[in-house]
Chain A
Amino acid sequence: MNIKRILLVLLAAAICAGTHAFASEIPKLHGFVETDIGLKVNDDKLAAKNGYNMAEQRAQFKLRYFPDELAILKQWNTEIFFKTDVLIDEYTEQPKWWGPRELYIAFTPVSFADVKIGEQILTWGTGDYIFINDQFPKDYVSFIIGRDDDYLKLPSYAGRLTLSGKLASLDLVAIPAFTPNNVPDGSRVSYYDPLFGCVVGTQGERYLREPPMQIENTEVAARLYGTMNSYEWALYYNHGYYKNPVGYKNQQTGELYYPELDVYGASIQGPVPIVGGIANFETGLLSSKEDDYAKNRLVQDSTMQYLVGYKRGFKNDFEVGAQYYLIQMLHYTAYKNSLIAGDSQDDKVYQQFTLCLTKLFANQTVNASIFVFYSPIDHDTYLRPSLSWKATDAWSLVVGSNVFLGNQNNSDWGQFKGNSNLYCRLRYSY
């Protein structure tokens, strides 16, 4: 990819320039090496490999470099950060050089402004694994097979400007190069394909068309936020594309694309008086611009989305969190009228509950947790139990499971039934 190459050259140039001037401060290398295995427990034998969906060795390298030699860069508190993974993926049977996962330069040119340019992870919003206003790219394949939570987020090629004020702060993000979500495509994780009307694996035929990298296709995201008396409020705006392929370019040939999307949202988060704990509320209008008020049956309809959450800690390192998530389709009558024979009809309202229990043992070296998604609409469930043990400061061991339950093949979680797994990860951090 061209951008990666450009960024790498820039980094190399900066480090060379820096070390050339003063070879005094060599950045320290950190990261980890790990091995992961995920065994399928209810294999539908549709994906490329039977029996497992994760078998990989990974090495991560992180370098943080402060080019302090140039007075202006030092004054701007400039930092260059580089993080890369080298992956030997036995599932795809090829060693894979992932290239940078993060590669950015960050600086503070004036006291109230921070700038971060390059490949970076972007996150905001109040949900736990549920995202309304965070429209930044995610890797749901990693999530489903049980890679570390860090891999749920994909990096964006972006510029970010943060303006900080006393009462409120403003984040402005521009993303010139589109990155879609990594969603199941059948090769590793089987999924429900409405064209086939069933769960498909490698035989699924989908062609995903990304918006080309053009200046007018630049995605923009903004967040205005602040804290008042322990309560954090935020207003959000996103202008760009759905990160999932929710529009058909050509239904017959299975050609999908990422339709235009505008999101307007808000959130608030803070302590609950008397009973204690933290509550959060987040809402967003996802305006599907190409859907023409639901008259276009080939594009995802606009929705209103709401999320309410609550979490609190108890004695002996025990924590409970719960969320309720509601998606309401707008223009439902028009949507129904637009359907033709053979189309499956979505419900007007989708609801989902989540529950998270976490307990630490043995001086916080053992973490037992379970995260549950349940939809009373589709009657499907996704269970994510895990048990992790920090054997030493460097070594950790995680065993966990991804269990999908549900009778409907076309439901959010039920469609992944045949991908349920039991996984294990051994990691050494340095």
Chain B
Amino acid sequence: MLAAPLWAEMTVDEIVKNANHAAYYEGKDGKAKANMVITDSQGRTRERLVTILKLNIADGGEQKYYVYFHKPNDVRNMVYMVWKYIGKDDDRWLYLPALDLVKRVAAGDKRSSFAGTNFVYEDISGRNPDEDDHELVGSEGDYYELKNTPKNAGSVEFAYYTVRIDKKNFIPVKADYYDKSGKLYRTIEALEVKDIEGHPTITKMKASDLNAKASTITEFSDVKYDVGLSSDIFTERYLRRAPAQWIER
């Protein structure tokens, strides 16, 4: 038994906690550029280029996000800000530069599309693990396989989803979403994982909508951890005037 690897003794909850940390809570803060290319069923593409600043207030808990749009041109310089909470609605703001308007946005459905891509809000900022029941359905080879069933089935569009988690760094490398009839209709894949400053990091990921035959590939560049973001970056002041230190102009 002494020779048995550490992961063998891990409970489902520990795996989920570690995976949630690896995917969304690495470092005290972080910064990245995300280029998202949406391809529809006819091969037409749209592009979104944003800079994301993120501050972890509590591991596995509260976070702040600042998303600055570089592309497309009609929303250039727009900023979207989220104060994410666990167990209550997020606070969201939108800054529209042409009107110098800071607009409080009603927290909508977290399963709706982020900026018209095939990613939903929960893919970007994480889904609260407490909202699902987790079951370890496999642990052969290098991966854990988890089946996650929502506690409140009416709150989401899926019946359940499975996640494949890399045993060595707990990065979720693939998620498959099944509808009420048991049919696979949506997948999220990590296409590239890199070690950045000691943090395992997904640098390329793909969301596919199998029904609509559309997909979005997001590539993260210029990823940095622990850059020294403070809470006051995530306030109205910096919505109106983007922080030059962090946002490429």
Bits for A293-323, please: 1 = Cβ < 8 Å to B, else 0.
0000000000000000001111111010100
Shortest distance from the beta carbon of A123 to any chain B beta carbon, whole Å: 5
Q: Is B152 positioned at the interface, with any CB of A under 8 Å from its CB?
A: no
Q: Which residue of A lies closest to B231 (CB)?
A: A166
Which residues of chain B in 115-139 are interfacial with respect to chain A, using CB atoms and an 8 Å cutoff?
A: 115-118
Contact, CB under 8 Å: A313 / B100 = no
Known: A150-B99, A269-B104. A315 touches B109 (CB 8 A): yes
User: In the bound complex, do residue B249 and residue A106 qualify as a contact, i.e. CB atoms below 8 Å apart?
Assistant: no
Is residue B142 within 8 Å, beta carbon to beta carbon, of the partner chain? no
Q: How large is the interface on B (under 10, 10 to 19, 20 to 34, 35 or more residues)?
A: 35 or more
Contact present for B100 and A121 (CB under 8 Å): yes
B73 x A276 contact (CB < 8 A): no
A152–B200 Cα gap in the complex (Å)? 48
Q: Are A393 and B89 in contact (CB under 8 A)?
A: no
Q: Does A30 contact B (CB under 8 A)?
A: yes
CA distance A394 to B73 in the complex (A): 7
Given A121-B100, A153-B99, residue A164 in contact with residue B232 (CB < 8 A): yes
Q: Does A232 contact B72, Cβ atoms closer than 8 Å?
A: no
Indicate if B14 sits at the interface (CB-CB under 8 A): no
Contact of B107 among A121, A276, A364, A427 (CB under 8 A): A276
Q: Is B169 an interface residue (CB 8 A)?
A: no
Contact of B112 among A108, A123, A316 (CB under 8 A): A316
Judge whether A150 and B98 touch: CB under 8 Å: yes
Binds A, one of B52-60, B182-190, B233-241: B233-241
Cα separation A114 to B212 with both chains bound (whole Å):
47
- A111 CB to closest chain B CB (Å) equals 10
- Interface residues in A124-177 by Cβ distance below 8 A to B read 126, 149-150, 152-153, 162, 164, 166, 169
Residue of A nearest to B214 (CB): A363
Q: In the assembly, what is the distance between CA of A120 and CA of B99, in Å?
A: 10
The distance in angstroms between the C-alpha atoms of A316 and B113, with both chains bound, is 9
| A-B CB contact pairs (8 Å), 22 listed | A30-B73, A121-B98, A123-B100, A123-B102, A153-B99, A164-B235, A232-B104, A276-B89, A278-B104, A278-B107, A313-B105, A313-B106, A313-B107, A314-B109, A319-B106, A321-B106, A364-B113, A393-B46, A394-B74, A396-B74, A427-B74, A429-B72
